């Protein structure tokens, strides 16, 4: 379910309801890591250990991925590493945008964050980065960490002051935490609503991959703001860490080690194919679009069957070319050639007898009668056997029928 901001609940201030979302197909590449790492800035590093690495995609040797290292065996000190990039398009105040990325882990002992911020990339006179260099300026935050069950497989997101789990199901009885599997590429969509002004900014997270065949909304397990206790409530969105009246302009990937609550021994994880889109966009920038539907005589073919409705009922399309079919209503196989997309098909029946205004077709359509008037180059034909009218192109004089469902 959806919820109101806690500032609304506390009665401090109210804000407008979410505007209707619109779908856009225009993904803009942030980085796919095929041209190196020059776009990324090492804006913050603590602990003296860390680096950016390009790693080969274990499932595609021709592909490169991004790994931000801050941990390793024997790293006892607290280490942090921020890698930041400017977004090619911003998510303006009062606007909606969608961040897309893929990620993968070989083993669970790691942690990393994907964070959107209104803080721009800034340097001082010495060339040192001064922004964004703290978690405090981040807003929408997705986090893969070992906090929680200790499995290294859980995903949490920032909801104002908390990091609740996300999963499927919106009741205590149905909620199942999203458990990350090793050696699986997951696609993540962060649909971000940067509401007008600093209040009400929120985002929702969708996942595809592993156990999820389609983009699936992950519900947020709500924690009490004061006690961090579970409340039994589950929501479709989380609120920004701070809330901002400014556009979101940077993306930061952060990782840590040496934190006892979320150890990081350097198990490899990878991020790849980061895109951003205006509006709510749950398509994948890596998809070439769904395959075109299989058609027969103007009807979609689903699992080998074209449902032609009142025309011929279910038609079983038995060959890729659509020439051999089985018409359930007639209980017969036919050799039929579809004609275009207008819902017509070509068939040459065996005419047993032909007379003025009628023909006997045997077990095909029985005795058929046609209207003596012509309509748009054809005529009307009626079959008593199936109690239907057909529109015939070209007549039946040469034994060829082109039938349309009219």
SS (H, E, C) 116-134: EECCCCEECCCCCEEECCC
- Structure confidence at residue 20 (pLDDT): 33
First to last CA, the chain: 46
Q: And the tokens for 384?
A: 């008593």
- Provide the CA 196 distance to its chain's centre, in angstroms: 26
Q: What is the 3-state composition of the chain as percent helix, strand, coil, each rounded to the nearest 5?
A: 0, 50, 50
- Between CA 182 and CA 109 the distance in angstroms is 11
Tell me how far apart the alpha carbons of residues 51 and 162 are, in angstroms, rounded to a whole number: 28
Burial of 340 (0-12, 13-18, 19+ CB in 10 A): exposed
**What pLDDT score was predicted for residue 304?**
82
d(CA 273, CA 34): 10
The token duo for 319 is 């060959």
Q: What averages of pLDDT result for each successive group of 10 residues across the chain (406 residues)? A: 45 29 67 92 74 89 86 56 92 96 85 91 90 91 67 78 91 90 92 93 94 92 86 92 94 79 71 95 80 65 80 77 69 60 51 67 67 52 66 50 50
The owner of tokens 């609503």 is: 193
Taking the C-alpha atoms of residue 316 and residue 331, their distance in angstroms, rounded to an integer, is 11
Return the number of other C-beta atoms located less than 10 Å from residue 361's C-beta: 21
Count of residues for the chain? 406
In this prediction, residue 352 carries a pLDDT of 58
pLDDT for position 18: 31
Residue 105, beta-bridge partner list: 269
- Rounded CA separation 351/367 (Å): 10
Place of tokens 């027969």: 296
Q: Are strands 129-131 and 122-123 parallel, antiparallel or unpaired?
A: antiparallel
Distance CA 129, CA 127 (A): 6
With H, G, I as helix, E, B as strand and everything else as coil, classify residue 135. helix
Beta partners for 270? 104
User: If you ran DSSP here, which 8-state letter would residue 387 be given?
Assistant: T
CA dihedral angle for residue 269, residue 274, residue 279, residue 281, rounded to 10 degrees: -70
């Amino acid at each position: 379910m959806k919820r109101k901001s806690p500032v609304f609940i506390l009665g401090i201030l109210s804000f407008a309801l979410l505007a209707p979302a619109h779908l856009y197909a225009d993904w803009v590449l942030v980085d796919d890591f095929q041209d190196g790492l020059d776009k990324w800035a090492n804006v913050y590093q603590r602990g003296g250990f860390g680096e950016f690495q390009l790693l080969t995609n274990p499932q595609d040797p021709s592909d490169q991925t991004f790994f931000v290292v801050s941990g390793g065996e024997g790293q006892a000190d607290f280490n942090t590493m921020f890698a930041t990039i400017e977004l090619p398009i911003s998510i303006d105040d009062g606007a909606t945008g969608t961040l897309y990325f893929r990620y993968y882990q070989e083993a669970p002992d790691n942690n990393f964050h994907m964070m959107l911020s209104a803080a721009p990339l800034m340097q001082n006179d010495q060339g040192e980065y001064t922004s964004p260099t703290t978690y405090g300026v981040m807003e929408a935050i997705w986090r893969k960490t070992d906090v929680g069950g200790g499995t290294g497989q859980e995903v949490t997101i920032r909801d104002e002051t908390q990091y609740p789990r996300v999963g499927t199901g919106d009741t205590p009885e149905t909620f199942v935490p999203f458990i990350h599997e090793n050696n699986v590429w997951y696609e993540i969509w962060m649909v971000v609503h940067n509401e007008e002004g600093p209040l009400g900014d929120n985002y929702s997270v969708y996942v595809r991959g592993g156990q999820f065949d389609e983009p699936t909304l992950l519900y947020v397990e709500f924690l009490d703001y004061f006690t961090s206790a579970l409340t039994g409530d589950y929501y479709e969105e989380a609120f920004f860490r701070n809330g901002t009246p400014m556009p979101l302009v940077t993306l930061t990937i952060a990782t840590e080690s040496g934190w006892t609550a979320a150890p990081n021994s350097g198990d490899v994880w990878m991020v790849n194919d980061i895109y951003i889109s205006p509006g709510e966009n749950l398509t994948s920038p890596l998809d070439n679009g769904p395959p075109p539907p299989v058609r027969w005589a103007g009807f979609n073919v689903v699992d080998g069957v074209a449902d032609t409705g009142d025309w011929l009922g279910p038609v079983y399309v038995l060959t890729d070319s659509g020439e051999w079919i089985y018409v359930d209503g007639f209980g017969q196989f036919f050799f039929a050639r579809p004609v275009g997309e207008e819902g017509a098909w070509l068939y040459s029946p065996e005419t047993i007898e032909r007379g003025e205004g009628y023909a006997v077709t045997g077990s095909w359509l029985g005795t058929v009668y046609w209207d003596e008037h012509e309509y748009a180059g054809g005529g009307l034909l009626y079959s008593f056997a199936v109690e239907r009218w057909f529109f015939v192109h070209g007549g039946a004089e040469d034994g060829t029928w082109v039938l349309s469902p009219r």
